[in-house]
DNA sequence: GCTTACCGTAAGCTACGACTTACCGAAGGG
DNA sequence: CCCTTCGGTAAGTCGTAGCTTACGGTAAGC
């Protein structure tokens, strides 16, 4: 399992999607996320741990609070992986289309 | 839940990731996927159903077999959503950086 | 028309993942 | 120094997602 696939698995949970999407608007503390989301603060911590392990977010201490931000490098890696999907599927589609036109010529 | 987030949730399962990745190399029948993957054929069918519901794959009848392909439009939609994440996180990062330099001037 | 290949769906089981509450540690403020 | 705020971790519960086997249904081949 590559890192990008691990990122996709991490973002598979809707709650983690919501957390990550909030963080794209700027850094947030754990409590701030818990105030907005319909889950408890420990639950938010657990989700943030998963997102951090796959490299999608970063955390830094800010006094007594802990601010989480999206990791641009991680997000870039995920986008690159999706771009790979895109390139290959496009190539496969064009190959299929060319085979189709080949068949049309034969008919 | 937007369609793009539903796609992310669908791709959250590693088996579905494997299925989708295989399909990026070209259309495949259900049995062909089941031969390669370490799960039974009905399990593959169930995964394909999920991927189809969110618009990530398409199916067409080919005689007695059923060929599944990646849906370029669906993949494009997912990429666009990721690009939104990227744009917003970049803007937030730059805003944070500008605030930092502001603070540096004040110190 | 019978058989074979191929596939979707139903029913049921099991494991895991997403919560909760409870507890503890670290950092600041009075 | 307390005390309060803030957050990570442990333990335990519960729902559900993913898998299997079993069955039925359609298209092609002889």
A57, β-bridge pairs: A70
* B51-71 tens-digit pLDDT: 999 999 999 999 999 999 999
The residue to which tokens 């949730």 are assigned: B9
Spatial separation of the C-alpha atoms in residues A66 and B61, rounded to whole Å:
54
Q: Report pLDDT for A104.
A: 40
Question: Are B58 and B23 within 8 A, CB to CB?
Answer: no
Strand D reaches within 7 A of the A57 CB: no
Q: How far is B78 from chain A (nearest CA, A)?
A: 9
Q: In what order do the strands lie in the sheet with A28-29?
A: A28-29, A65-70, A57-62
- Percent of chain A clearing pLDDT 90 (strictly above): 81
| Nearest by CB: B92 against A8, A24, A95 | A24
pLDDT number for residue A59: 98
- Sign of the CA dihedral A36, A40, A42, A47? negative
Q: Please give the C-alpha separations between residue B79 and each of A69, A86, B7, in angstroms, as whole numbers.
A: 21, 9, 11
pLDDT at position A102 is 46
CATH class of B3-106: mainly alpha
pLDDT of residue A99: 52
The CA–C1' separation of A48 and D12, in angstroms, is: 21
Please report, for chain B, the start and end positions of each structural domain, with discontinuous segments joined by +. 3-106
pLDDT of residue A93: 74
Nearest nucleotide (C1') to the CA of residue B10?
A: D17
Q: What is the pLDDT of residues B72-104, one digit of tens each?
A: 999 999 999 999 999 999 988 776 665 544 444
Residues A26-38: what's their mean pLDDT? 98
- Which among B4, B68, B57, B2 is positioned nearest to B30, based on CA atoms? B68
Strand arrangement, sheet containing B28-29? B28-29, B65-70, B57-62
Nearest by CB to B75, which of A24, A76, A86? Answer: A86
Q: Both ends of chain A: CA-CA distance in Å?
A: 45
The reply to whether the CB atom of residue A48 sits less than 7 A from any atom in nucleic acid chain D is: yes
Residue A88 — very low, low, confident or very high, per pLDDT cuts 50/70/90?
very high
How far apart CA B82 and CA B11 sit, in angstroms, is 14
């Amino acid at each position: 399992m590559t890192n990008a696939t691990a990122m996709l698995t991490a973002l598979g949970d809707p709650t983690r999607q919501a957390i990550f999407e909030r963080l794209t608007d700027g850094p947030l503390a754990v409590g701030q996320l818990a105030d907005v989301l319909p889950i408890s603060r420990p639950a938010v911590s657990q989700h943030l741990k998963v997102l951090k392990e796959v490299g999608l977010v970063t955390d830094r201490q800010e006094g007594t609070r802990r601010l989480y931000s999206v990791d641009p490098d991680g997000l870039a890696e995920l986008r690159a992986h999706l771009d790979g999907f895109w390139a290959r599927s496009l190539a496969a589609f064009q190959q299929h289309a060319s085979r189709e036109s080949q068949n049309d010529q034969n008919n």
